[in-house]
Amino acid sequence: MYIIKLNAIDSTNSYLKGLVSVAIQKDYTVVVAEMQTKGRGQMGSEWQTKNGKNLTASVFKRLSFCDINDQFYISMVVSLSIYKALSAFKIPKLSIKWPNDILSANTKLCGVLIENVIKSNNLQGSIIGFGLNVNQKIFSNLPQASSMNLVTGIFFNKDVVLSEILKQLKIYFNLLESKDYGVIKAEYESLLFRLDKPSTFQTLNDENFSGIIKGITETGLLKVWTEDETIKTFDLKEIKLLY
């Protein structure tokens, strides 16, 4: 394992992408920054972080063993790894908000951005970026944001937290390499936020509808039991699950 520590950077994912564009990096090359000025989330959203308070990191994982059609399993593995790591620190009421946000009750602790490296239609590896709120106490205009410190009252050592996440990533990527797809998918689905509960969703047209999350497809589409009593599938770009 090779860890690069930086004081400040625009984005750990962008930094690692620059390294990978020159040469495929060693397995589990890690870039971690005390301050990230242009952290990115899903759908181009920005990640707010206070200097030195949170864990902002990116990990390069070689994935030549993974089929290009199984890319959502990477997302599941990463989500499960972070969930398990936070469980080790006794973070209460954890769940995974599709596709890969980590929540404590109704508040968001961690966001994930995965950028796969594909050459000649083959998956070479993944750049796994995550922003985990560790010791930050105040989040301006972000009512759904929280931190490990806020939900437990405990101050956490970020290096220890990172070490646990990397440990869990290795465990779950070994499962993926062993082709234990059923085990991974079943565990991921069992931990989904609002699974089997009536929930409200919002479409791209800002229209709301009610439904019940029933799981996901093999490619990561969300399966929702809708009001017309049919199960429909949705892509991340098609709907938003409201808190």
pLDDT-flagged residues of the chain (< 70): 38-50, 243
Fold agreement between 2-190 and 198-241: no
Q: Supply 217's token pair.
A: 């497809």
Please tell me the predicted confidence (pLDDT) of residue 41. 54
Considering the entire predicted model, what is its pTM?
A: 0.93
Question: DSSP letters of 16-62?
Answer: HHHHHHHSPPPTTEEEEEEEESS-B-GGG-B----TTTSEEEEEEEE
Rounded distance between C-alpha atoms, residue 135 and residue 148, angstroms? 6
Please write the tens of the pLDDT for every residue from 75-124: 999 999 999 999 999 999 999 999 999 999 999 999 999 999 999 999 99
| CB-CB neighbours of 242 under 10 Å | 10
CATH number corresponding to 2-190: 3.30.930.10
Contact indicator for 132, 55 with CB cutoff of 8 Å:
yes
3-state secondary structure of 178: coil
Condensed to tens digits (0 to 9), the pLDDT of residues 35-56 reads: 988 665 554 555 556 678 999 9
* CATH code given to domain 198-241: 2.30.30
Q: What are phi and psi of 117, to 5 degrees?
A: -100, 110
Domain residue spans of the chain = 2-190, 198-241
